[in-house]
């Protein structure tokens, strides 16, 4: 890990934090490298059940690309591995949560979008600002099924920010909490997920994504394939046994 990011475990929850508050946690090369390292570490970390991505400080989750760096390097089309895009250029089977502590603009909006769940401070703001600086946002393609098309269009063509409450109304955010409670609220949500059977959580994540990729009939068929090994797992026997014995289940993830 670079100094631009940190990776810390709090119980079963891994916190991956962008640590450039003086630059509004912009996506410099060091930050992008740190995000890649952190996501790979999470994938390999058997002790971590949930990943939380956040920014340091109270002003910005991530303000997007480092425009000064882009100008210096004359960046044109970002390469496929410019930054980790969960589910597109890196598989992240376990659950991810964005804890948005401030502005999430451009690439910061992307990071929040890539996560499975999103908890936002009441001071958070979201925007796809690329149109204001002549850049592109191909990563925003999922907005066309995450949001009504006219809402997605307005966000993309104006570049105007929306606040946390509006993002919650639109379904981009799961919870809005006071800024001082963001860490604890996100940790509680992550721990609720982490107590559940890990194979079931991962299969649930895959199932939710199916209808964005497949017609409904094919999605049902693929869901049956995804869930069959879960039904056949040791954990599928452990859950009912724990209920019968009135004890907490001991998940093995197999």
Of the candidates 170, 194, 218, which is a domain's last residue? 194
Task: Note the pLDDT of residue 190.
Answer: 98
Of the candidates 194, 213, 229, which is a domain's last residue? 194
Regarding whether 165 and 125 lie in a shared domain, the answer is: yes
Kindly give the residue spans of alpha helices, DSSP state H, lying in the chain. 29-44, 67-73, 107-114, 130-133, 143-146, 149-158, 164-170, 182-194, 198-210, 216-231, 234-245
Higher pLDDT, 228 or 98: 98
- Domain of residue 80, CATH code: 3.90.226.10
Regarding whether 241 and 166 lie in a shared domain, the answer is: no
Regarding whether 149 and 227 lie in a shared domain, the answer is: no
Residue 171 lies in a domain: yes
Regarding whether 158 and 208 lie in a shared domain, the answer is: no
- Helices 198-210 & 234-245 angle (0-180, nearest 10): 120
Regarding whether 62 and 117 lie in a shared domain, the answer is: yes
Residue 73 lies in a domain: yes
Regarding whether 188 and 211 lie in a shared domain, the answer is: no
Residue 87 lies in a domain: yes
Q: Contact at 8 Å (CB) between 121 and 112?
A: no
Regarding whether 117 and 89 lie in a shared domain, the answer is: yes
Regarding whether 207 and 183 lie in a shared domain, the answer is: no
Residues spanned by the domain of 71: 5-194
- pLDDT tens-digit map of 127-140: 999 888 887 788 88
Question: Which two tokens mark 11?
Answer: 């119980």
CA atoms within 13 A on the CB side of 241: 8
- pLDDT tens-digit map of 175-192: 999 999 999 999 999 999
Regarding whether 219 and 190 lie in a shared domain, the answer is: no
Residue 251 lies in a domain: no
> What average pLDDT does the structure give for the chain?
92
Residue 253 lies in a domain: no
Regarding whether 217 and 170 lie in a shared domain, the answer is: no
Question: Which two tokens mark 83?
Answer: 């930054």
The model carries a pTM of 0.93
Q: Contact at 8 Å (CB) between 152 and 146?
A: yes
Task: Note the pLDDT of residue 211.
Answer: 81
How many structural domains does the chain have? 2
Q: Contact at 8 Å (CB) between 42 and 54?
A: no
Non-local CB neighbours of 213 within 8 Å, separated by 6+ positions: 219
- pLDDT tens-digit map of 65-119: 666 776 667 666 777 788 999 998 999 999 999 999 999 999 999 999 999 999 9
Residue 254 lies in a domain: no
Residue 174 lies in a domain: yes
How many residues are there in the chain? Answer: 254
Regarding whether 186 and 226 lie in a shared domain, the answer is: no
Residue 79 lies in a domain: yes
Regarding whether 202 and 186 lie in a shared domain, the answer is: no
């Amino acid at each position: 890990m670079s100094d631009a990011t940190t990776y810390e475990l709090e119980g079963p929850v891994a916190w991956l934090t962008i640590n450039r508050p003086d630059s509004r946690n912009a996506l410099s090369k060091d930050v992008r490298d740190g995000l890649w390292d952190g996501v790979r570490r999470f994938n390999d970390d058997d002790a971590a059940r949930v990943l939380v991505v956040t920014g340091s400080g109270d002003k910005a989750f991530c303000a997007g690309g480092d425009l000064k760096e882009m100008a210096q390097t004359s960046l044109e089309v970002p390469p496929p591995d410019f930054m980790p895009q969960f589910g597109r250029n890196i598989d992240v089977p376990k659950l991810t949560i964005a804890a948005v502590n401030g502005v999430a603009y451009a690439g910061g909006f992307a990071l929040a979008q890539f996560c499975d769940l999103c908890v936002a401070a009441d001071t958070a703001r979201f925007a796809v600002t690329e149109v204001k600086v002549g850049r592109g946002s191909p990563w925003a393609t999922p907005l066309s099924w995450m949001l009504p098309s006219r809402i997605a269009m307005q966000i993309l063509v104006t570049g105007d920010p929306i606040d946390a409450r509006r993002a919650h109304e639109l379904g981009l955010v799961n919870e809005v909490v006071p800024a001082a409670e963001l860490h604890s609220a996100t940790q509680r949500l992550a721990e609720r997920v982490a107590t559940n059977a890990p194979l079931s959580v991962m299969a649930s994540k895959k199932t939710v994504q199916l209808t964005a990729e497949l017609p409904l009939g094919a999605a049902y068929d693929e869901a049956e394939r995804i869930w069959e090994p879960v039904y056949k797992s040791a954990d599928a026997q452990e859950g009912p046994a724990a209920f019968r014995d009135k004890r907490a289940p001991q998940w093995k993830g197999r």
